């Protein structure tokens, strides 16, 4: 069952938290040797916490739901390595703020999920559950794979470039990235403060809405009513300037979405690409590179030999960017945010590609090309899986919403997803 369905049964006491945890543990025992989604598990402790929940009052929106936590977020009861050998065995003294919020709402942290090295490109051991010869994406690889393989109903991830949307697309789950600064980030390894966002994965829009409401404290994320056809969202179809790099599978999914949504939504229009929009891709790279080089200064200065060559190269590039250049880039970002906001006077949401294609074969985590612009702009986005490409691997598209209007995005995403997945 989806997380929202489990939540309803748990809240009515028609299902126990222990039942759900045991079902997840059985699935993990069956599949983890092939998928490698976790860095740490503690079945006995989680079952003990589940028994306590079953004996007490309903705690909150996530009561009794097992949760995976990306290894970029601190946990007091699990080692946190940030995907790096530098921090092997490191035990934080406290939970990261998003983890504490989820526990307060009744979630049971079943384990830590694999992250790439400091959420950059060097992959961990996780494989794609649809075909283990293919990547699950990154950097939130373990979280996406665990939810896709039904080891967990929900999992936390982070995104700085494309680390929620891309693995959600490759693994065929719903991924939600909230608006920038909507989620408290204490205890989350900082990479690029201008873009870092905590979000997560589920198997439906309702699932990630539950998780998002807890992370943001905004009850509107789950309080939206079902939209009727008369209330259909105004959808802007925005291929973006990177569209020539979308392969045949993405193009086919796009055509399918256009056909379905034009028939059922009263107001669908192609988006006129703002002049120079393509510059946002390089702008995202430069801002991230500058900020990561400084956020990882301790590691860069004292542990360079324990980091991968690609990460060291990125940090060197970042140190070559001056503070004055970075300030100018942030000023450009601010002006772009104002320009892009104007699009949402004509459209409620923008439908865009999530990835260039299906999950690549091998371990390389894929290209975040279609996510970079939305990450630098800080806009909320949701990946919707609804199609199948080569080798039976999943394909989908993302919806992007207006800054701060995460509840409206999720309402529109639910409406769109219900129609596309039929």
pLDDT at 265: 87
Spatial separation of the C-alpha atoms in residues 271 and 234, rounded to whole Å: 11
Band the pLDDT of 229: cuts 50, 70, 90. low
Give the pair of three-digit tokens for residue 419. 């129609």
- Per the CB < 8 A criterion, the answer to whether 85 and 52 are in contact is no
pLDDT at 225: 75
Residue 404 preceded by cis peptide, ω within 30: no
Task: State the average pLDDT over residues 15-42.
Answer: 98
Catalytic, 177? Answer no
At 36-66, the pLDDT tens digits run 999 999 999 999 999 999 999 999 999 999 9
Q: Residue 156 pairs with which residues in a beta bridge?
A: 69, 200
Instruction: Give me the number of domains the chain comprises.
Output: 1
pLDDT at 361: 98
DSSP characters for 359-371? Answer: PPBSS-----HHH
Torsion of CA 205, 191, 162, 320, to 10 degrees: 160
Give the pair of three-digit tokens for residue 142. 């373990």
Alpha helices (H) along 84-223: 97-104, 141-148, 165-171, 205-216, 220-223
Spatial separation of the C-alpha atoms in residues 104 and 328, rounded to whole Å: 41
Catalytic residue among 140, 143, 163, 373: 163
pLDDT at 28: 98
Using the predicted structure, report yes or no on whether residue 228 has a pLDDT greater than 70: no
pLDDT at 230: 64
Catalytic, 139? Answer yes
Q: Is the dihedral of CA 92, 94, 97, 98 positive or negative?
A: positive
Give the pair of three-digit tokens for residue 329. 């880039």
- Give me the helix-helix angle, 97-104 and 205-216, nearest 10°: 110
Band the pLDDT of 4: cuts 50, 70, 90. very high
Task: State the average pLDDT over residues 221-235.
Answer: 81
Only one residue has tokens 């949401």, namely 349
Only one residue has tokens 């034009």, namely 262
- Identify the three-state secondary structure at position 196: coil
- How many CB atoms lie under 10 A from the CB of residue 5? 15
User: Using H for helix, E for strand and C for coil, what is the string for 393-406?
Assistant: CEEEEEEEECCCCH
Range of the domain at 348: 1-422
- In Å, how far are 48, 55, 79, 196 from 139, measured between CA atoms? 31, 37, 18, 12
pLDDT at 266: 78
Specify the CATH number for the domain of residue 247.
3.90.1300.10
- As a whole-number percent, the residues of the chain with pLDDT over 70 amount to 99
At 296-315, the pLDDT tens digits run 999 999 999 999 999 999 99
The total number of residues shown for the chain amounts to: 422
At 350-387, the pLDDT tens digits run 999 999 999 999 999 999 999 999 999 999 999 999 99
Using the predicted structure, report yes or no on whether residue 158 has a pLDDT greater than 70: yes
Using the predicted structure, report yes or no on whether residue 227 has a pLDDT greater than 80: no
Average pLDDT, the chain: 97
Band the pLDDT of 226: cuts 50, 70, 90. confident
Catalytic, 163? Answer yes
Q: By C-alpha distance, which of 163, 187, 186, 164 is closest to 175?
A: 164
- Identify the three-state secondary structure at position 191: coil
Q: How many helices (H) and strands (E) does the chain have?
A: 15, 11
Only one residue has tokens 């065995």, namely 89
Catalytic residue among 70, 112, 177, 189: 70
Only one residue has tokens 């997945």, namely 421
- Give me the helix-helix angle, 279-295 and 323-341, nearest 10°: 130
Taking the alpha carbons at both ends of the chain, their separation in whole angstroms is 18
Q: Is the pTM of this model over 0.75?
A: yes
Catalytic residue among 115, 139, 354, 381: 139
């Amino acid at each position: 069952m989806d997380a929202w369905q489990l939540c309803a049964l748990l809240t009515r006491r028609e299902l126990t938290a222990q039942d759900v945890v045991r079902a997840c543990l059985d699935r993990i025992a069956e599949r983890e040797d092939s998928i490698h989604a976790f860095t740490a598990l503690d079945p006995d402790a989680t079952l003990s916490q589940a028994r306590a929940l079953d004996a007490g009052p309903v705690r909150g929106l996530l009561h009794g739901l097992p949760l995976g936590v990306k290894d970029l977020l601190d946990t007091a009861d699990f080692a946190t390595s940030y995907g790096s050998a530098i921090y092997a065995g490191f035990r934080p003294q406290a939970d990261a703020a998003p983890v504490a919020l989820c526990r307060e709402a009744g979630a049971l942290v079943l384990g830590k999920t694999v992250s790439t090295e400091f959420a950059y490109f060097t992959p961990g051991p996780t494989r794609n559950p649809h075909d283990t010869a293919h990547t699950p994406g990154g950097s939130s690889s373990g979280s996406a794979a665990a939810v896709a393989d039904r080891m967990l109903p929900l999992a936390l991830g982070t995104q700085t470039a494309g680390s929620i949307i891309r693995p959600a697309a490759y693994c065929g789950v719903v991924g939600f990235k909230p608006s920038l600064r909507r989620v408290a980030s204490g205890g989350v390894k900082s990479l690029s403060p201008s873009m870092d966002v905590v979000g997560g994965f589920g198997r439906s829009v309702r699932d990630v809405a539950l998780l998002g409401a807890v992370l943001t404290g905004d009850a509107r994320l789950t309080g939206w009513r079902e939209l009727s056809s008369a209330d259909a969202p105004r959808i802007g179809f925005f291929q973006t300037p990177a569209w020539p790099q979308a392969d045949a599978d993405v193009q086919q999914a796009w055509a399918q979405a256009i056909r379905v949504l034009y028939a059922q939504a009263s107001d669908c229009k192609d988006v006129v690409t703002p002049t120079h929009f393509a510059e946002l891709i390089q702008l995202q790279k430069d801002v991230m590179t500058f900020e990561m080089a400084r956020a990882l200064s301790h590691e860069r200065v004292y542990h360079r030999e324990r980091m991968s060559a690609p990460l060291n190269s990125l940090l060197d590039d970042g140190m070559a960017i001056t503070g004055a250049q970075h300030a100018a880039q942030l000023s450009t970002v601010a002006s772009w945010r104002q320009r892009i906001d104007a699009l949402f006077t004509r459209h409620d949401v923008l439908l865009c590609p999530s990835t260039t294609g299906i999950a690549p074969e091998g371990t390389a985590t894929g290209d975040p090309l279609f996510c970079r612009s939305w990450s630098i702009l800080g806009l909320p986005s949701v990946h919707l899986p609804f199609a199948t490409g080569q080798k039976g691997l999943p394909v989908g598209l993302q919806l992007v919403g207006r800054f701060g209007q995460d509840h409206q995005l999720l309402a529109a995403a639910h409406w769109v997803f219900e129609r596309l997945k039929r």
